[in-house]
């Protein structure tokens, strides 16, 4: 059994993650708490509808994907919000349909409201694979249609929207959306597993066992160091080196373009955050606890040194292309020691998973090019 973090650290991590997930309601326009208590407006005998789409009219695939995984009744945020005001004197029973033609399935919800009630329905239609293959800012249309019990159209609206590139990450003010970086950690990607296959050849006994609970903490720490070093060396054999890739387009600040691990491996290129999610993918594949660590202008990756311990092994992934593993560990230790704690943002991948943040590209086979990746050249 894996021993959890000390209560104080677990509480702090939970608070930070809860704050981040609550903050995402700025993207989803939240629910309608307190609206029933508002001062009554002059009665209009017809219901009215207000549509809000994305964040300032932009849909980020990372958020759309995670919202679609939630049950409609459990959502606190979504891709499209439909606010219904039943100004009539009779109960309202209607069916609301939302979709993005050519990009998503339809999502249908039943609206049942009493006279005078106001409610916001949160929609997150499942997007087709093409959204997660999209690499540029793209225009689309969100269509909302409301029908009454007899099937007659009561309301219809087409709203223009801009679809962000699949690899655009929105950090938000003070990195409040940082836990969503776990969406880029893809442990089941076949290319990640190919690299691990090569890395085990660099280990004593040709094994990458992850944690072995029968070992002492000291022996586990040594094993973790050796496994991380083997993965590092396997990626060096691939020729992974630093290439900056942060230019993106859109109207929202604090965004960054981040390569998926399979892209970094195909291109043999990774900047600091690309490398962090790539290494974290491999550690999670092995059942090891990974962290993405953000400091101003840079990122590191970490892995828990022993299954029941609180110590992490951190290293600087940008050195993969030009220095040995020990140097990358030293660089991370030095970089973290020079920063005050309030400038260090640690995202625990396992914590994000428990909060419902899952790999973004899972189940999208077209994102796995066959036989063309640099990992394939290991063979």
**What is the distance of C-alpha 83 from the center of its chain?**
27
Q: Percent of the chain, pLDDT > 70?
A: 81
Which range is least confidently modeled, 1-5, 100-104, 151-155?
1-5
Residue 132: which of 363, 371, 379 has the closest Cα? 363
- How far are the Cα atoms of 68, 183, 237, 330 from residue 60, in angstroms, in the given order? 12, 12, 34, 36
CA angle 260, 332, 233 (to 5 degrees): 60
pLDDT at site 33: 38
Mean pLDDT in residue range 150-172: 94
Mean pLDDT in residue range 350-375: 64
Q: Percent of the chain, pLDDT > 90?
A: 72
Q: Are 297 and 340 in contact (CB under 8 A)?
A: no
Which range is least confidently modeled, 121-125, 299-303, 347-351, 370-374?
370-374
Classify strands 153-163 and 58-59 as parallel, antiparallel or unpaired.
parallel
Residues 140-157 have pLDDT tens digits of: 999 999 999 899 999 999
Summary mean pLDDT of the chain: 86
Angle, helices 217-238/325-337, rounded to nearest 10 degrees: 110
Which range is least confidently modeled, 19-33, 76-90, 208-222?
19-33
Alpha helices in the chain (DSSP H): 7-23, 25-28, 61-68, 129-133, 190-200, 217-238, 261-267, 272-285, 325-337, 349-354
Check pLDDT > 90 for residue 251.
Answer: no
pLDDT category at 285 given cuts 50, 70, 90 is: very high
- How far are the Cα atoms of 12, 172, 278, 371 from residue 178, in angstroms, in the given order? 15, 8, 16, 33
Q: Structure pTM? A: 0.83
- How far are the Cα atoms of 158, 308, 361 from residue 53, in angstroms, in the given order? 11, 44, 23
pLDDT at site 361: 66
pLDDT at site 369: 39
Check pLDDT > 90 for residue 210.
Answer: yes
For the chain, the residue count is 379
Q: Are 80 and 142 in contact (CB under 8 A)?
A: yes
Q: Which token pair is 24?
A: 């995402």
Between CA 79 and CA 76 the distance in angstroms is 11
Q: How far from each other are the two terminal CA atoms of the chain, in whole angstroms?
A: 36
Residues 353-362 have pLDDT tens digits of: 999 999 986 4
pLDDT at site 16: 54
pLDDT at site 377: 43
- How far are the Cα atoms of 13, 26, 180, 255 from residue 19, in angstroms, in the given order? 10, 12, 13, 19
Three-class SS state of 299: strand
Check pLDDT > 80 for residue 371.
Answer: no
Between CA 157 and CA 144 the distance in angstroms is 5
DSSP at 245: -
Q: What residues contact residue 294 under an 8 Å CB cut-off, 6+ apart?
A: 175, 178, 273, 344, 345, 346, 347
Residues 14-52 have pLDDT tens digits of: 545 554 555 444 344 333 433 444 555 555 578 999 999
Mean pLDDT in residue range 266-282: 95
Of residues 8 and 123, the one with the higher pLDDT is: 123
pLDDT at site 96: 98
């Amino acid at each position: 059994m894996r021993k959890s973090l000390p209560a104080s650290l677990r509480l702090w991590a939970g608070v930070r993650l809860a704050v981040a997930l609550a903050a995402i309601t700025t993207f989803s326009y939240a629910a309608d708490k307190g609206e029933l208590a508002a001062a009554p407006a002059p009665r209009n005998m017809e219901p009215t509808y207000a549509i809000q789409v994305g964040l300032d009219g932009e849909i980020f695939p990372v958020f759309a994907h995670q919202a679609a995984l939630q049950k409609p009744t459990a959502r606190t945020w979504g891709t499209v919000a439909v606010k219904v005001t039943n100004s009539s004197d009779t109960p309202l029973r209607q069916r609301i349909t939302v979709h993005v033609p050519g990009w998503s399935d339809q999502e249908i919800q039943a609206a049942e409201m009493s006279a005078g009630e106001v409610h916001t329905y949160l929609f997150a239609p499942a997007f087709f694979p093409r959204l997660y293959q999209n690499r540029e800012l793209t225009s689309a249309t969100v269509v909302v249609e409301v029908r009454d019990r007899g099937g007659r159209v009561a309301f219809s609206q087409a709203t223009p929207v801009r679809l962000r590139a699949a690899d655009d990450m929105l950090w938000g003010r003070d990195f409040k959306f940082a836990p969503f970086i776990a969406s880029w950690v893809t442990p089941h990607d076949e290319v990640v597993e190919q690299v691990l296959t090569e890395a085990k050849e660099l280990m004593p006994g040709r094994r990458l066992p992850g944690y072995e609970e029968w070992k002492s903490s000291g022996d586990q720490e040594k094993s973790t160091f050796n496994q991380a070093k083997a993965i590092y060396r396997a990626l060096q054999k691939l020729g992974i080196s630093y290439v900056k890739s942060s230019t993106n387009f859109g109207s929202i600040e604090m965004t960054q373009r981040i390569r998926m691990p399979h892209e970094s491996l195909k291109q043999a290129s990774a900047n600091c955050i690309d490398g962090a999610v790539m290494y974290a993918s491999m550690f999670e594949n092995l059942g090891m606890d990974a962290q993405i660590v953000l400091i101003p202008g840079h990122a590191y990756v970490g892995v828990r040194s022993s299954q029941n311990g609180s110590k992490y092994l951190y290293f600087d992934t940008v050195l993969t292309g030009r220095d040995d593993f020990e140097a990358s560990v030293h660089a991370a230790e030095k970089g973290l020691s020079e920063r005050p704690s309030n400038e260090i943002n640690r995202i625990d991948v396992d914590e994000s998973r428990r909060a419902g943040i899952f790999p973004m590209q899972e189940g999208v086979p077209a994102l796995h090019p066959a036989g063309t990746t640099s990992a394939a050249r290991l063979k």
